[in-house]
Amino acid sequence: MRGPLPFLLVVPFDTSLFEQDSCLSGKFLGNYRDGSNINSVLITNEECISSWTSQTQPLSAAFAPAAQGFRQLVWIEEEAVDPSLKTVIAEDEFKQFLERLSSPPAMPFEQTFLESEQNIFIGTYQDASYEIFYQTPTAALLSVNSRVAIHLDAVLPRYWKSTPVPSFPVEYIPVPPSSVDPVKSVLANLAYDSTVATLVDGISIPQMRNDIRFLTGEDGQSGIVSRHSFSQGARVAAAWLKQRFEETGATCQLMPFMQGFAPNVICRYESVVNTTGTVIISGHYDSRGSFGSTRMPGGDDDGSGTTAVLSIARAIARNGVKFHQNVELVAFAGEEQGLYGSRAYARELRSLDANITLMIQADMLAYRKPGEPMQLGLPKSIGTSEVAQLVANISSLYSPELEVGFTSACCSDHQSFFEQGYASTQVFERAGPIADPMYHNSGDLSDREGYDFDQLKAIAKVQFATILHYAGFELHK
């Protein structure tokens, strides 16, 4: 006998949907953004839909794709960008995307994949079919060939991004009070500490300038043209980052997570007291460029976040800082294809029941729109609000020059941790949507108007001060 047919649902996010005896518990495929709304994707059956009691009604319901193994569901969305950057309306962009997606294949996928090891991938596919399950002017849920899914960034419009929807549903895992309470307690006892101030002030702008110029290839030494996840440059960057972090006393591993992708760089400083507690501070070192160009310097996105994390490592080493919790400094890959690297790592940590007490992702820190003050943006929707509040208050103590506010720019690698129930947030360069005119562009260099090393340092100080306050520390010098 056949079981009930699986249905895909898109529903406005509402925690009450997942409460105990709901037929939706254990059917969660993740939360995804559409404009200023957060939607959940669920997989369920007809029976569950016919017994629907919640006030929250599905936005769409459709039969799930057949042949699950070969088809990959992806969520695509228009990112929050400043209206001044937009020249094409979202609907037209989406139409063009579908045209590119369905253009006939020029060469078999395997061949393009091999090429992509050396170069960037801009090509077509063997199976160019797609199916749309949900669509608005600013987001869509579609299924594509699973091998096409990891290359979508090459055909998506510049201000759109894709996130793969997991193949198997899980329980919705909220961040538990036991993870939020320690954040509240650090917040309640927060006070200016002159030792912390000295440590964070020591972050070096000339060093950051050097580091970013290596990553973007602007220094003429690294040979990096692109840090696209499939590029040779990303592998050069990963090896270089590992070495630099190890020089600061960290123990690093290159963590492969999927064939073809450059690895995550995961570096750890063991706690000097006996605890499983671990604080993670991260950025993503992979980059994305404009259509048809192999140059993807990713100076701001996210060379800036990566450099900030490295600047913290260098300051740890210079001052002999030892922490009272384990501290991991991480540079993820696969972010631009849809958080692949961080998802793999966050899931691994959850499966080991790892005690990740705090996670803060830095994604795009350096661009300051001319005429605007230095800023620090915190995510409006995806993330733990108490962690954002802690970061905001620490900012006012150590980088009072930053104007702190919320941003609708959303959903970097912290989302992977947040959906595994870990307390997390993101730091961003602006209290508003993305305004960097070189976003996802070959011109995303560090040597250009608006790339502000003072703002980059000010935000790196906040990240470092947050680790020092949250993990606790002593100085061995």
Ligand X SMILES: *[C@@H]1O[C@H](CO)[C@@H](O)[C@H](O)[C@H]1NC(C)=O
**Cα–Cα distance, 427 to 459 (Å, whole number):** 8
Comparing CB distances to Zn ion, the nearer of 196 and 344 is 344
CB of 190 to ligand X, least distance (A): 5
301 binds, among Zn ion, ligand X, none (CB under 5 to 8 A by kind): Zn ion
The CA distance from 355 to 423, in Å, is: 11
Q: Which of Zn ion, ligand X, none does residue 363 bind (CB under 5 to 8 Å by kind)?
A: Zn ion
Residues 6+ apart with CB under 8 A from 285: 215, 227, 234, 237, 238, 241, 265, 298, 302, 303, 306, 331, 332, 333
Nearest CA to 235 out of 265, 262, 217, 215 is that of 262
CA-based end-to-end distance of the chain: 71
Q: Which does 393 bind (CB under 5 to 8 A by kind): ligand X, Zn ion, none?
A: ligand X
Q: How far apart are CA 337 and CA 149, in angstroms?
A: 8
| Residue of 413, 456, 431, 452 whose CA lies nearest to 376 | 431
Minimum CB separation of residue 276 from ligand X in Å reads 5
Pick 302 or 436: Cβ nearer Zn ion: 302
Closest CA to 432 of 80, 77, 84: 80
**Residue 190 binds which entry of ligand X, Zn ion, none, with Cβ cut-offs from 5 to 8 Å by kind?**
ligand X
**Radius of gyration for the alpha carbons in the chain, expressed in angstroms and rounded:** 22
Cα–Cα nearest to 97, from 126, 135, 68: 135
What minimum distance in Å lies between the beta carbon of 412 and Zn ion?
6
What residue is closest to ligand X based on CB?
277
Smallest gap from residue 364 Cβ to ligand X (A): 24
- Is the CB of 171 or the CB of 181 nearer to ligand X? 181
- For the bound state, the minimum distance from the C-beta of residue 200 to ligand X, rounded and expressed in Å, comes to 18
Partner interacting with residue 1 (select from Zn ion, ligand X, none; CB below 5-8 Å by kind): none
Q: Which is nearer to ligand X, 137 or 373 (CB)?
A: 373
> Residue 202 CB, nearest distance to Zn ion (Å)?
27
Nearer CB in complex with ligand X: 108/400: 400
Closer by beta carbon to ligand X, 204 or else 355: 355
Rule CB under 5 A: which residues touch Zn ion? 301-302, 363
Residue (327 or 435) nearer to ligand X, CB: 327
325 binds, among ligand X, Zn ion, none (CB under 5 to 8 A by kind): ligand X
- Smaller CB separation from ligand X, 183 or 374: 183
CB 12 within 8 A of CB 154: no
Residue 211, binding choice from ligand X, Zn ion, none, Cβ under 5 to 8 Å by partner class = none
To Zn ion, the closest distance from the beta carbon of 298 in angstroms equals 8
Picking from 362, 368, 333, 342, the residue whose alpha carbon sits closest to that of residue 467 is 362
**304 and 212 Cβ atoms separated by less than 8 Å:** yes
Strand order in the sheet with 71-78: 130-136, 139-145, 71-78, 160-164
The binding site for ligand X (CB under 6 A) comprises: 187-188, 190, 274-277, 325, 355, 357, 393
Answer whether 146's CB lies under 8 Å from 152's CB: no
Residue 420 CB, nearest approach to ligand X (Å): 15
**Which of the listed partners (Zn ion, ligand X, none) does 276 bind, with a CB threshold of 5 to 8 Å by partner kind?**
ligand X
